[in-house]
Structure 1
Amino acid sequence: MIVMMVVFSSTLLISTGLVFALIRTDAGRLWAGGHLVLSAGGLALTINAATVHLVEVGAVAVMVYLAGKLTIYCGVRVHQGLPGFTRMQGAAVVVTVAAALDALTGPHPVLQLHRVAYVALALLSLTTILVLLRSRVRHSEIGLPLVLLASAVQLCAQLYGASAAWQADNAISASPFNAANLTHDATYNAVVVLAPLVATLLGLFGFTVMALEQVIANKERGARIDGLTGLLNRAALDNAASRLIVSALRNRQAVACLVIDVDHFKQVNDRSGHRAGDAVLQAIAEALDNSRRASDVAGRYGGEEFCVLCPHTDEHQATALARRILRKVRAIPLPGPAGKFASVSIGVAQLRDDGSDSVGLWQQLFGNADRALYEAKRRGRDRYVLASTLEREEAIAAAAEMERASASDSAMASVMDADAQSDPALAADLPGDTR
């Protein structure tokens, strides 16, 4: 009894502090609050068993203990992205309370009450394990195994206790808090009393670690994710691009880059306000996210400019993504007069290894795509332009300009030569004249 009082008192104080420490996390708040309620119920059960032995007090304490376990289970569901409390859980609570009230009014209420409690606790432990095993949260490396172990220990203890309660005769209470039982069956007391205490301490520690891991993961995510659009921010995009380029060079793979800018975005802000502009950016970011492949990296580079990096993709293959983005964005209605829709201009470029480091290659790749983007703007917007096509066009234009300049120089030289032949005095001033 003394050991149980010490343990429950300790967990009560620890969970009280954790409620304030984890109050900003939904799952952590439920876990800490659940352990607080659970510890209060366990302490009340222990004190009642050691002093007055009132069945009614024991029944209330059992219900409080079960409420704490249910709150912890709701925290597990919230942590996994599931609804915290469902109709099925509500129905289970109603059935448990009804069974407990029926046990109190029937013969041998203590034995019947603990049968109900053991079954309810076993079901809660089992469902907790099943939810955790289907976990989609991958940032818990220490806390999750501890909680699984604690739940497994709790489940085994409650199954053993339920079995013993059903096999017990009506003259002997199956309560682990009955002082008479503590001297009769050492195995029973070790499993049903000590195992849940160990599981409670282990679970409290495991849930605390899981909550702290979630806080750390959220902070890391906040440092990498753009708060408005949910895409990578500029710093995270730069880091991802450098790693991707290093991998592409090592494996001799292609990498394409799309730089995307929202057309006439300033007009949206000026006409409808910045909140409306933010809504448009969020819709376009969602369109980008839904258009890209799982291996592509999308980020908001700044303002109304976005970027998508496509590994294992050359420039021409990336045009398929550019067309999907254009099509999805054209379906986004703009605020204000009906019938107006959003559009974007896109520049597409492919990585070219010129011997620079990953940072230099990333700057070059982005710069080429950015130049193609501005060419798309110049050509009327709502389109994409390939950097390689732009370079070829610029090379052709430069060659034509050189030809025109050469032809102009030749024509001028011919005119000057004709003038010199007709005017001997002028011929003496011509460059290269040797006469």
Structure 2
Amino acid sequence: MHLAQQTILVVMMVVFSSTLVMGAGLVLALRASDAGRLWASGHVVASGAGLVVALGASAGTGSIQVAALGAGGYLVGRLMIYRGVRVYYGLPDHRLLLRGIGLITVVLLALASGLADGPLLVHGVAYGMLAMLSFSTIVTMLRSRRGRTSIGGPLVLASHLVLLGAQIAALSYGAAFKGLAITPFFLQTSASVWPLAPLVAVLLGLFGFSLMAMEQIIARNESGARLDALTGLLNRGALDVTAMGMVARWQRGGEPLSCLVIDVDHFKAVNDRHGHHAGDHVLREIATALDNSRRASDIAGRYGGEEFCILCPHTDEHQATALANRILRKVRLIELPAGEGAGCGHASVSIGVAQLRGGPAGREGLWRTLFAEADRALYAAKQRGRDQFVVGSSMVVEAAGTAAPQATADATDPADVPAFATTG
């Protein structure tokens, strides 16, 4: 099937106008995403440049200089899009390098347009650069795991594969027919319908990029709704939801589930003496110590204020004491802010450890029972001098009139750690 050249120009103007308007709207819609903002801005620049060239060719006023200028603008836009791809995948964006490449390419196109073989040179430089950008984008996305799992990723990959094929075909055609004038996305000497495929690919790519940016924004918002802004650990709401899921698994399989409730010792004194910024710094350091102490299967969260909680699935209370010991040792390495003329020492925490053994029917009731038992053990650790842990079952033994054994909280073998541990 063949189309008249004027029809292809009209289709080009429609497509570029559409992508220009959509890109302009997406600049605002995706402003919360650095990558999305670059993608949208790049499409605005590229679409504007392509529209100028198409309008000039349609009116019969196009020249090699206008074509070179349009090709340069289009390449600058595609470079912005490629930079957005790198930002999306957390790679160095090479801002200065890509800007330098864009500037050099525009200068080369401008110089080439004044030479005897100007049309062929402009054609070769423009399509050669576009082919390299498409290939680089494809390689970057294929090497990224997220590129294969994102909904919009396959659409962007498909669009760049089509664009790469079209650009290679254009280079081959230009090498065979010297003197060919440059016009984005189609060859003037060909009136077949295939040049419309890259135009469709541009729309497909813009849609795919938009999906990727929206996925990133949604994931960031969901993460923000689940994470504590200060420490980066789970917040109380997310911790409650996770805990009830673990309780449900305990109900089904009976695997042990333990909980550590952790409170920073003398935290109010830090805030009163040094201010809330210093207190926030201490909380972040302690949160890092907790995160580095836990196993991959353990879930850590900030329950509120200076209180933290760690859930330990498939773990009984004796095994959980090993984690409590690691936390105590790591927290003791955290230096508190210096006081007036003297240091204030190091941080410490008190920890209550409890294992889920039963309670009221229902997941929420069981979770509240587990947390309450660990919280009572934490209170006992505070009463007994802080900087230590207490196991909830030891309090039951004491209530029955049995003396609780004691040991230092620095025991390294959980099998050797008794139900109650303290530091001397």
TM-score in terms of structure 1 length: 0.84
Q: Partner of 1:389 in structure 2?
A: 394
* Aligned with 1:17 (options 25, 33, 51): 25
CA contact (8 A) 1:19 1:33 kept: yes
Letter in 2 for 1:57: V
Letter in 2 for 1:10: S
Q: Partner of 2:295 in structure 1?
A: 293
1:352 Cα offset (Å): 1.0
* Aligned with 2:85 (options 67, 71, 76): 76
CA contact (8 A) 2:262 2:308 kept: yes
Whether 2:170 is the aligned partner of 1:170: answer no
Aligned mates of 2:115, 2:352 — CA distance in 1: 79
Aligned mates of 2:223, 2:275 — CA distance in 1: 29
**Matches of residues 296-307 of structure 1 in structure 2 within 5 Å?**
296-307=298-309
CA contact (8 A) 1:139 1:214 kept: no
* Aligned with 1:5 (options 8, 13, 33): 13
Q: Partner of 2:241 in structure 1?
A: 239
CA contact (8 A) 2:64 2:182 kept: no
Query: Which consecutive unaligned segments of at least 5 residues does structure 1 have?
Result: 400-435
Counterparts in 2 of 1:176 and 1:134: CA distance versus 1, 3 Å: closer
SS of the aligned residue for 2:56 comes to helix
Whether 2:62 is the aligned partner of 1:57: answer no
Counterparts in 2 of 1:301 and 1:146: CA distance versus 1, 3 Å: same
Counterparts in 2 of 1:117 and 1:52: CA distance versus 1, 3 Å: same
Counterparts in 2 of 1:324 and 1:115: CA distance versus 1, 3 Å: same
Aligned mates of 1:283, 1:180 — CA distance in 2: 65
Counterparts in 2 of 1:175 and 1:355: CA distance versus 1, 3 Å: same
Whether 2:367 is the aligned partner of 1:344: answer no
1:47 Cα offset (Å): 2.2
**Matches of residues 101-112 of structure 1 in structure 2 within 5 Å?**
103-104=112-113, 106-112=115-121
CA contact (8 A) 1:140 1:213 kept: no
Counterparts in 2 of 1:99 and 1:291: CA distance versus 1, 3 Å: farther
* Aligned with 2:358 (options 335, 349, 353): 353
Aligned mates of 1:95, 1:319 — CA distance in 2: 63
CA contact (8 A) 1:253 1:312 kept: yes
**Matches of residues 77-116 of structure 1 in structure 2 within 5 Å?**
77-86=86-95, 89-90=98-99, 92-93=101-102, 96-97=105-106, 99-100=108-109, 103-104=112-113, 106-116=115-125
Counterparts in 2 of 1:169 and 1:150: CA distance versus 1, 3 Å: closer
Letter in 2 for 1:316: H
Letter in 2 for 1:309: L
CA contact (8 A) 1:22 1:211 kept: yes
CA contact (8 A) 2:135 2:164 kept: yes
Aligned mates of 1:339, 1:270 — CA distance in 2: 13
Aligned mates of 2:259, 2:184 — CA distance in 1: 67
Whether 2:202 is the aligned partner of 1:200: answer yes
Counterparts in 2 of 1:382 and 1:136: CA distance versus 1, 3 Å: farther
* Aligned with 1:38 (options 46, 64, 81): 46
Q: Partner of 1:422 in structure 2?
A: none
Counterparts in 2 of 1:213 and 1:172: CA distance versus 1, 3 Å: closer
Counterparts in 2 of 1:116 and 1:381: CA distance versus 1, 3 Å: same
Q: Deviations over 1:123-171 (max 9, x none)?
A: 21222222223335489642222222212222222222222223x2324
SS of the aligned residue for 1:334 comes to coil
1:119 Cα offset (Å): 1.9
Q: Deviations over 1:300-340 (max 9, x none)?
A: 10110000111111111112211221122111111123351
Q: Partner of 2:56 in structure 1?
A: 48
Q: Partner of 1:156 in structure 2?
A: 165
Letter in 2 for 1:197: L
Aligned mates of 1:45, 1:98 — CA distance in 2: 18
Q: Deviations over 1:241-293 (max 9, x none)?
A: 00011123322211111100000000001001111111111111111112212
CA contact (8 A) 1:256 1:311 kept: yes
SS of the aligned residue for 2:138 comes to helix
CA contact (8 A) 2:24 2:40 kept: yes
Letter in 2 for 1:343: S
SS of the aligned residue for 1:220 comes to helix
**Matches of residues 177-326 of structure 1 in structure 2 within 5 Å?**
180-183=188-191, 186=192, 190=194, 193-326=195-328
1:298 Cα offset (Å): 0.8
Letter in 2 for 1:276: A
Moved more, 354-363 or 270-279: 354-363
Counterparts in 2 of 1:365 and 1:45: CA distance versus 1, 3 Å: same
Letter in 1 for 2:353: V
Aligned mates of 1:179, 1:300 — CA distance in 2: 62
Aligned length: 392
Aligned mates of 2:52, 2:183 — CA distance in 1: 14
Letter in 2 for 1:263: D
CA contact (8 A) 1:260 1:307 kept: yes
Moved more, 123-132 or 138-147: 138-147
Q: Partner of 2:421 in structure 1?
A: none
Larger Rg, first or second structure (1 or 2): 1
Counterparts in 2 of 1:93 and 1:59: CA distance versus 1, 3 Å: same
Counterparts in 2 of 1:368 and 1:11: CA distance versus 1, 3 Å: same
Which 4+ runs in 1 deviate beyond 3 A? 86-107, 134-141, 171-180
Whether 2:330 is the aligned partner of 1:328: answer yes
SS of the aligned residue for 1:181 comes to coil
Aligned mates of 1:176, 1:15 — CA distance in 2: 18
CA contact (8 A) 1:242 1:359 kept: yes
Counterparts in 2 of 1:298 and 1:137: CA distance versus 1, 3 Å: farther
Q: Partner of 1:429 in structure 2?
A: none
Query: Which consecutive unaligned segments of at least 5 residues does structure 2 have?
Result: 1-8, 405-424
Letter in 2 for 1:296: D
Q: Partner of 1:371 in structure 2?
A: 376
CA contact (8 A) 1:49 1:177 kept: no
